[in-house]
Structure 1
Amino acid sequence: MIYVLIYMCLYLLYSIPTLYKVKRLSGVMKVEERDRIIHELPKRWSKGIMKRSGSTVYITGQQYIPKGPVLFVSNHVGDFDIPVLLGYIEKPFGFISKIEIKKMPIIREWMEMISCIFIDRKNRKQAIQSIREGSHLLKKGHSLLIFPEGTRNKGKGLKEFKTGGIRMAKDAEVPIVPIAIRGTASMFENHSWGIKPSHIHVEVLPPIPAASIINRDVKELSCEIQSKIQSSLDEERKVS
């Protein structure tokens, strides 16, 4: 665990010159190209974390990811979900994070650069504004990731999906790409101390097209996405 933490801290310090460089990227650059350049270092950092943890990541289904902005919707197993998905999903994306992360220097600035959104779940007005900000980012061409369970389930079964984040795809008229992830809780949450190697499985599922989202009830859509992810997790358990 100490080895991983030292790597994370040293790499963040190493990243500072690159952070200042990407802040100066031209605003006239295409969104896709700009996001690709900005995400290069966060992706390397994330893969480095997983490599030093001794864990192995298996990912399938990336051929389903459409071009253009999408809303990735994933189950939330553990703290290492973000490094896994940020490192191994080919399409760059920002994500919704709890507002407390804004207190962490360097990390906060990198998250702002990759189009992350900070949300205060205790402040309904601010939370609604964050959802509107997410819709705006999707409309501008950035992709986003949400964990609609809100908190980690630690591999103990899906919690009910909240609808707020999913509404962003409806408002922005972009496809939704469900993701099923398994194994990250075995790295940290489900034992008493330290970080342990684990086999992480990620399945990118076929997208729900934007055209079929526009006129759908958000609650109904949320239940459909949860069902797709649950089916993937159930199928994977049968195989393993």
Structure 2
Amino acid sequence: MKFAYDLHIHSVLSPCGDEDMTPNNIVNMALLKGLDIIAVTDHNSAKNLPAVLEVGKRNGLMVIPGIEVQTKEEVHIVCFFKNLQNALKLDEIIYNCLPDIPNKEEVFGRQLIMNSNDEIIGKIEKLLISSCSLSVNDVFILTRGLGGICIPAHVDRPAYSMTSNLGFIPNSLNVKTVEFSKKDSPESIISKYPFLKKYNYIVSSDAHYLWDISEREYFLEMEYLSFTNLINILCPN
């Protein structure tokens, strides 16, 4: 069966995320657009995942726990987990590896933690769009140790990508799938970066606004929706 997906969405926790990106708004917009599976991947944090997962479960939408990590090389990696607990374990590690730079709300926006009723229950004080002290290799090792998978994010972009900042994808990472952004067609991206043709790819929105969430346009072929099936597609043996 084919399932429509968007595996890179930000909530109000990301300082650059619009304040309409609440748990209920994200889930309801995804349903309105006909999506079957989404991942919420806030910058360097998983603290809005409890609310989003609860709302998704309540409304019959599969939500994958995720985090978009910014490594010390300023490379963005989206990390997906089978369960909330392991995502929160990486969240704690990342937070302790972030520099003590306070968020300036008037410049970057608020970093809001919400409950499943879209009520504000807290804020994160450290600036989440800083680079943590973990390397690309560290993030892959930690994520896999927690039973998760790593996907190099928006590899076609000229900044904050493995392609732009490292110039290559290290073979030692054993990457099977990369993420393309929606600004260009996959064909034009591969034409620009021929070495990417060896990888499988997904196309996600990196949505910071509700209207940016993908339509029912990108699909994954699975027998049924499960994290195990997702791993088998994104990280085949």
**Larger gyration radius, structure 1 or structure 2:** 1
Higher strand share: 2
Verify same fold: TM over 0.5: no
Give me the TM-score of the superposition, normalised by structure 1: 0.29
Give me the TM-score of the superposition, normalised by structure 2: 0.30
